[in-house]
Structure 1
Amino acid sequence: MRSARLFFLLAAVMLTAHASAQVSLAPPGATSDKPATPDKPAAPDTKPAAAAKPKLRPAAKKPAPPAAATATPAPTPDDPNADLVYGAYQRGLYKTAFDLATKRAQENGDPKAMTMLGELYANGFGLKRDDAKAAAWYKRAADAGDREAMFELAMVRLAGRGGPVNREEAAKLLASSAKLGNSKAAYNLALMYVGGETLPQDLRRAAELFRVAADAGSAEAQYALATFYKEGTGVPKDAEKAARLLQAASLAGNVDAEVEYAIALFNGTGTSKNEAAAVTLLGKAAKQNNPIAQNRLARVLAGGQGVPVDKVEALKWHTIAKTAGKGDPDLDRVLSAMSPEDKAKADAAVRKWLGAK
């Protein structure tokens, strides 16, 4: 069920994840006495390690929730009522879903129906949004043992919707939901253990929970656990396991993982070296507006590693990365010798890219 899910940004320990993620590159024409080494990539929207604390970030809203995002699991074939409620919700017939769920909750005390009502109120689907009613229905369902309601109520408590912020209650709800097999709860509980605020910092426990969520297919957890293996945080350092997890998260569309896995492929860290595949991944992430990928792509294009030299395209991505705050003095120097005509071509490409956004 697509809901107002909130995800913690990884705390200071997670910022070490990128410490070894470098693309070794000395672009042609560089005048420096030593090879240019790019800055260590850091996850977007994070603060420096000394000041980093877990933060809440709401998940992006979409007009209609996809099936995979629903908190109400697919109904069993022998439960026609569940099928009617779920089917109505999936088709966007929210008023019908509300009526059917209300009947089931009142007549049968069905926790899944209660969770559905909480979701409808939380998102304003088919009726006016009401955080207090959403929290009340989630609580009734959670008290009845529904793991999805436990997770949703935890997110409500963390956001302070329908009542004051209550991190302690949220932690307990996440723990209960995780015990019942909710991978989203395991992931968010792991982040609490990383942050060390509501719960004592316990990186080994965080790694265990990340593993549970990663095994369930969570790309965010796969990426987080990969960073643990890269640095030996809460687990023994293991570059091969890190690379496998980065690959899995990358295939699932996690942009940060795409960048990290591309760098691992480029340098042959924990996996076979494959510069061509690395450049392809960097290009994919660059087109998704990741400034680190844009910077790395500019470097390989300028240096002709894994791809033919293309300084016009290199200057394009370098300039785009700079607009996002990812400057690179080495590239400034290398690309400054380009002809006015090539610089004009790159500038036109930048304007086209920025205008299309």
Structure 2
Amino acid sequence: MKILRPIAVLASLLILTASAAAQMSLMPPPAQTPPPAASQPASKPKAKPAAKKPAATAKPAAAPTVTVIPAPVPDDPNVDLVYGAYQRGLYKTAFDLATKRVQDSGDPKAMTMLGELCANALGVKRDYVKAAEWYKRAADGGDREGMFALAMMRLGGRGGPVNREEAVKLMASSAKLGSPKAAYNLALLYLDGQTLPQDLRRAAELLRLASDAGNAEAQYALATFYKEGTGVPKDVEKSVRLLQAASLADNVDAEVEYAIALYNGTGTPKNEAAAVALLRKAARQNNPIAQNRLARVLVSGQGEAGDLVEGFKWHLVAKTAGKGDPELDAAMSKLKPEDRAKAEAAARKWVGAK
């Protein structure tokens, strides 16, 4: 049995106006792709090594000495204590440290952190106007993350009126400084053709920049470009390599497409076992397309030993999410009553556990 590839078309553009990220849906039916991770106002610090306990001193004959363990001090002076506090959820500490850093040295990254905390009500009361002010100061100081965050606020009209022209300039500057998120979102604007004139080649160039930097959403989008020949020459093998990279980064839509390519041997050597494993992984993340394709594999018995109860369980789960399949409905009507009851019970349990 050949698994049909879901049709990937460039149908809609969705820009999330949160200060941290934006994302585009490229493939209907819409997969439940988790939103991209929030943008980080400062570079990720190296892990802070634990302070070494000094060797115990020799005990005098008269009385034992007490070994005093010094307070931990980072060996690396570049360890970012502000971002470290942010990562651990110590938002008030991050706010205080960032404020002091701004006062002491005018650090643009600390300004971006203050904008992030204000925009997301972390450790302080939410204040979009104040957040925009901090992002503006950070952007003026040359911080690419501050530029991107301010661009997203300008697009969404938060902390001030909508200003698409300023947003595009900020995003372009951030992308030029190497921000994968800015390059990806700027590509979406060129693809959409509303804020900017539609330019598929420019969109592909920007997606390539973000993809090369490891942005999984960009890798998935660029894979779709290569599969369809949009803005680039059609190249199925390049498309599959990008799908593989994005799936390794846990992009669920990419996992489904890559699994289908593996199962059918399209642009890559055929590997049904690996395909089924990926479909199962994506199905467990509640992707209806993966659930439907996994159901087809299990019911047909191809790719791995057949399992009618498990297969029809996934069919019913996918159907609940709007991904029906008349062929599987017909096959299920011929199922033994006891097996049908087991499949229905398993589906109810899964849907109820979500």
- Asked if TM exceeds 0.5, the reply is yes
CA distance in 2, matches of 1:42, 1:333: 24
Query: Equivalent residue for 2:290?
Result: 293
CA distance in 2, matches of 1:81, 1:281: 40
Match of 1:184 among 181, 186, 195: 181
SS of 1:103's partner is: helix
Q: 1:83 Cα shift?
A: 3.0
Q: 1:324 aligned to 2:324?
A: no
Match of 1:278 among 275, 278, 293: 275
Q: Structure 1 residues 101 and 246 mapped into 2: Cα distance closer, same or farther (>3 Å)?
A: same
CA distance in 2, matches of 1:118, 1:53: 30
* Percentage of matched positions with identical amino acids: 74
Q: 1:282 Cα shift?
A: 0.7
Q: 1:85 Cα shift?
A: 2.6
Q: 1:253 aligned to 2:250?
A: yes
Query: Equivalent residue for 1:41?
Result: 6
Give structure 2 stretches of 5+ with no counterpart. 21-36, 47-73
Q: Structure 1 residues 232 and 190 mapped into 2: Cα distance closer, same or farther (>3 Å)?
A: same
Q: 1:109 Cα shift?
A: 2.3
CA distance in 2, matches of 1:210, 1:96: 36
CA distance in 1, matches of 2:129, 2:262: 49
CA distance in 1, matches of 2:184, 2:197: 16
Letter in 1 for 2:2: S
Q: Structure 1 residues 194 and 264 mapped into 2: Cα distance closer, same or farther (>3 Å)?
A: same
Q: 1:296 Cα shift?
A: 0.5
Give structure 1 stretches of 5+ with no counterpart. 1-22, 26-37, 62-66
Query: Equivalent residue for 1:64?
Result: none
CA distance in 1, matches of 2:94, 2:203: 37
Q: 1:264 aligned to 2:261?
A: yes
Query: Equivalent residue for 1:24?
Result: 2
Q: 1:58 Cα shift?
A: 5.8
Q: 1:237 aligned to 2:207?
A: no
Q: 1:256 Cα shift?
A: 0.2
Query: Equivalent residue for 1:71?
Result: 41
Q: Structure 1 residues 303 and 224 mapped into 2: Cα distance closer, same or farther (>3 Å)?
A: same
Higher relative contact order structure (alpha carbons within 8 Å, sequence separation ≥ 6): 1
Query: Equivalent residue for 1:173?
Result: 170
Q: 1:198 Cα shift?
A: 0.4
SS of 1:41's partner is: coil
Q: CA RMSD in A?
A: 2.4
CA distance in 1, matches of 2:190, 2:17: 20
- Structure number with greater Rg is 2
CA distance in 1, matches of 2:347, 2:258: 26
Deviant stretches of 4+, over 6 Å? 76-79
Letter in 2 for 1:280: A
Query: Equivalent residue for 1:56?
Result: 15
Q: 1:333 aligned to 2:298?
A: no
Q: 1:356 aligned to 2:345?
A: no
CA distance in 2, matches of 1:130, 1:60: 12
- Residues 268-320 of structure 1: per-residue CA shift (max 9 Å, x gap): 11100111111111111111111111111111111111111222112111111
Q: 1:168 Cα shift?
A: 2.1
Q: Structure 1 residues 331 and 272 mapped into 2: Cα distance closer, same or farther (>3 Å)?
A: same
Q: 1:56 Cα shift?
A: 2.5
TM-score where L is the length of structure 2: 0.82
Q: 1:69 Cα shift?
A: 5.2
Query: Equivalent residue for 1:163?
Result: 160
Aligned residues: 311
Q: 1:213 aligned to 2:210?
A: yes
SS of 2:206's partner is: helix
- Residues 143-186 of structure 1: per-residue CA shift (max 9 Å, x gap): 12111100111111222211222222211111000000111110
Letter in 1 for 2:294: L
- Residues 71-91 of structure 1: per-residue CA shift (max 9 Å, x gap): 211469899587333333333
Letter in 2 for 1:251: L
Q: 1:340 Cα shift?
A: 0.6
- Contact 2:17 2:155 survives alignment (8 Å): no
Query: Equivalent residue for 2:64?
Result: none
CA distance in 1, matches of 2:142, 2:131: 17
Q: 1:106 Cα shift?
A: 3.2
TM-score where L is the length of structure 1: 0.81
Match of 2:191 among 189, 194, 216: 194
Q: 1:225 Cα shift?
A: 0.6
Match of 1:226 among 211, 223, 226: 223
Query: Equivalent residue for 1:20?
Result: none
Query: Equivalent residue for 1:9?
Result: none
Q: 1:118 aligned to 2:115?
A: yes
Q: 1:195 Cα shift?
A: 0.6
